[in-house]
Structure formats: structure tokens, C-alpha cells
Amino acid sequence: MSKSQEQSAIIFVKRPELRDLVRQCLKAQNFKVENFFNASSPKEFKQFVADTPTAVCILDWQQGMDALTQTLAFMRDLGKVESHPVLLMSPVEDKGIPAFAREYLVSKVLIGQVSFDALKKTVQQICKMYAEVNPIKDELIAAGRAQREGRMDEALKILKDLHETYPESVRLHTELAEVHAHMQSWSEVKQCLQPLVESEVANPRVWHLYARSLLKLGDTDGALRMMERAKILNPQNLERLLEIGSILVQDNQASKAATVYNEAVQLAPQSKEAKVGQAVSHLLMDEVNEVLDLMRSHTLGRELGAVFNLAGVVACHSRQFDLSQKLYSQAIQQVEKQHELAARVYYNKGIACYKQDKIEDAIQMFEKAVTLDPALEQAASNRRVLVARTHKNAGYDDSALNDAEIESQLQEVHDIMAGSFDEDEESELDRLMNRSA
């Protein structure tokens, strides 16, 4: 790191007195005030990271698990941690901090009351650490830069070459697997990590990535077992809890999912995804009143409607059609005055009716959707196809209604078309909410 690059710092600290101490310490080490970036949210922090590729990052444990997970997972997943020295501070000792710091590649941790001298010394240490010449580090920085700029093949080549030179490095195994995961090459992820898993390497990130590969390759039970192993090593990984909950929801294990999401809410009370997962799990157990009591006091109608809609999609995928229709009806009650939102729920109800072979009901649902939102072309197209189906002389081609295999996850939308019939429910919370803006 050059001298000019050492002059930037991203400060994501909640406690005002500690934030002032950090600024005093940085000034004493000739950091320029105009190069201090005070982040007030994970979104702002990520933007600063993108704009200042070698800044020192100073984080406060009291920002909360949700905020820290968002920021550090963003840095790790895009290969930024190697070029950013990261300091994490906590006012109290927490047994989960060391495992959390190791998994997210935090450079240094300070626990307890932080003095000016201790903070100054630690910042000096991490700046020196990142200024030292290190061929592996430099190559990792280059690989991370290639990933950020979308040159995945280049990143892959750099890491493969490194891996051949240092075949025993767990870090390089993991980095190589991360790139394969970004490229959706799940067989390669599994192959890359298999030796580490078989050797019982106690690395939660290795087991987590391996679990993802098993899930993508169709081994749900194996993925859950591997995720649980990782969870034992680091129970305070919010990212992992959310992923376990999502797998359980999709595997129709709502009761177990609710337990995991409850853990996530306790760990990160501000996490929207944890709260949504918790609510969806209870809705899939037909505990509607409990969810209304849980969410109504601090949730807007459109958000509550989105949760019911999402639970309806999951229930439909697991062929719990009666529950699905009940949940869609609840969603419509919450958003009936917001026509675009209501149209999309009617559209989903139409999909559920079609899957039950209730063609006339499906047509009616699509008609309602189009009436509320004429721009919803999927509903109009589906209505045309199904009307044609009811008229034998219309030249209807059954091949147009081939079922699509739809992968439904709590935060993904899949635009999958089955012939001329669109059978993809809108299943992502934010997309539904953002339509109302």
C-alpha cells in the first residue's frame, strides 16, 4: 500500500465517543480529514468500499450482526478483504467474536475499553501488514479486482495458478471455490472443496460453500447436515442461519425453519430477511393470527401483503394449494387498494389455480390481474393461452403449457417461461414492495 493510499479510512462506528477517538487517532497518523468516510448504513459503507479500494475499514460490533454481515460478506464475496485492512472493535467480550472475525477475514479485533494508544498501535499494525510485499496477497488482490470488474475467467486463472503452487492452502481452496460459485459452476465448487471436507478441516466457510454446492446439485439433506456442522463452529453467522432457514422452508420443514429464523431474529433483531423468514415459516404452519400479531404493529400493509404473497408462493410450490389460496387471499386484503400489488397476487392465484387444473378459475384470476394492471403482460398472455385451451377448435397446442421447473428462494426472482405460458410466481419480497413506490 502506498503512502497516498494509506490516507483513506472508512469508519462504520455506532458509538459517537468511539467515532471521535478513531478520528483523533487517524489524524495523529497523518490521515487527512477529507479522506475520512463516515458510513451511516451498510449501503453507504459498501459504496465507500467500492470507491476507495485500499482504505482502512474500522467497524463497531455494536452496529449489530445484520449490518456487519452485510458489509463484511460484501467485501469477502467480491474479493475486497485482501486489499482492505479491517479492524473490528467491541466494548464487551463475546465468545462469538473470534469465530466471526476469522470467517470474515477481519485483520484485527479490539475488545473492551479502547484507549488512544491501543487504537493507534493497532491501526499502525494493520497498515504495516498491508504495506508489506507479499506475492500471494498481491495475486489475491489482482484476482479480487478481476472479479469486481467481471473478468471471472482471469480471476479463475490467477487462483488456479496460485493453487497449483500452494496446494495445501485452505484459503486458496476457498477463494477458488468462491469464484466457481460466482460462475454458477457448482460441480467445480464441490470438487474443489471435497479434499478439505474429507480431511475434516474445521473451517466453517469451507463447509458452508460445500453445502451450497450440494444444495445446487440436488442433495438437500447433505446440504443441511453440512450447514449444521458449520453452524456449530460459528453459531453467530447470520448469513448461514438465513440460508439454513431458506433451505428448510423450500424443503417443506416449516417448523424447523421457524426455529432457525427465531435464532436469526434473536441474533439480529433488525434483519428484515430474518423477520420475513420467521413470518413465512409460521404462515406455512397455518398460524396466520400469530403472524398478524407479530407483524401488524410495525409493518405497512404492502409489506405484510408481500409476506403473505411470498408464503403463498412457497406453499404452492410444495403443492399445499388450499393453504396457498388462503395466503394469497390474505395478501390481497392487505394491498387491495394498491392495484399493481394486488394484480400480482391475483396473478399468483391464477398460477395456483392452473396447477390444480382449475382452468376457469385461473382465467378469472388473470382477468382480475389485467383489470387492475393492464401492463401485466404475463397475466394477459396466460389468459389468452388458457382461453384457447377451452376452445378445442382454436388450434391450441398442448406443448405450450409444459410445466417449468421453478426454483423458489426467499430473495430470488426467476423469470422462467413455459412455452407461451408464464408459470413463474413473483416470489421476492423487495420486488413486490418496490412496485408500490
Where exactly are the structural domains of the chain?
A: 5-132, 138-236, 253-299, 301-434
- Cell 400489488 sits at which residue? 341
Q: What is the DSSP letter of 114?
A: P
- Any alpha helices (H) in 149-219, and if so which ranges? 152-165, 170-182, 186-198, 204-216
Class of domain 138-236: mainly alpha
Residue 319: partners with Cβ closer than 8 Å, 6 or more residues away? 355
pLDDT for the residue numbered 56: 92
168-188 residues labelled b (16+ CB within 10 A) or e (exposed): eeeebbbbbbbbbbbeebbeb
- Calculate mean pLDDT across residues 94-119: 91
d(CA 118, CA 102): 21
- Superfamily (CATH H level) for 301-434: Tetratricopeptide repeat domain (1.25.40.10)
pLDDT surpassing 80 at residue 224: yes
Length of the chain: 437
* 189, 209 Cβ separation under 8 angstroms: yes
Instruction: Specify the CATH number of the domain 5-132.
Output: 3.40.50.2300
Say yes or no to pLDDT of 226 above 50.
yes
303-347 pLDDT, tens per residue?
788 889 889 988 988 899 999 999 999 999 888 888 888 998 999
What was the pLDDT predicted at 424? 59
The per-residue pLDDT for 288 is 84
Give CB contacts under 8 A, 24+ apart, made by 22-28.
22/58, 22/119, 24/116, 25/116, 25/119, 25/120, 25/123, 26/123, 28/116, 28/120
Q: Write the pLDDT tens digit of every residue in 263-299.
A: 999 999 988 888 889 999 999 999 988 887 777 655 5
Write the secondary structure of 231-299 as one string of H (helix), E (strand) and C (coil): HHHCCCCHHHHHHHHHHHHHCCCHHHHHHHHHHHHHHCCCCHHHHHHHHHHHHHCCCHHHHHHHHHHHC
Contact yes or no for 136/166 (Cβ under 8 A): yes
- So what's the pLDDT on residue 296? 62
Q: Using one digit for the tens of pLDDT, what is the confidence trace for 230-253? A: 999 899 899 999 999 999 998 889
Out of 25-34, 35-44, 416-425, which region has the weakest mean confidence (pLDDT)?
A: 416-425
**Ordered DSSP codes for 382-407:** HHHHHHHHT-GGG---GGGGPPP---
Distance in angstroms (rounded) separating the CA atoms of residues 42 and 44: 5
What are the CA-CA distances from residue 395 to residues 400, 406, 418, 419 (Å)? 11, 28, 18, 15
Mean pLDDT of 87-114: 91
Q: Are 282 and 294 in contact (CB under 8 A)?
A: yes
- State whether residue 11 is helix, strand or coil: strand
pLDDT reading at 9 higher than 70: yes
* Mean pLDDT of all residues in 388-413: 42
How many whole angstroms from its chain centre is CA 205?
15
Per-residue model confidence (pLDDT) at position 299: 55
- Tell me the three state secondary structure of residue 91: coil
Q: Do domains 5-132 and 138-236 have the same CATH topology?
A: no
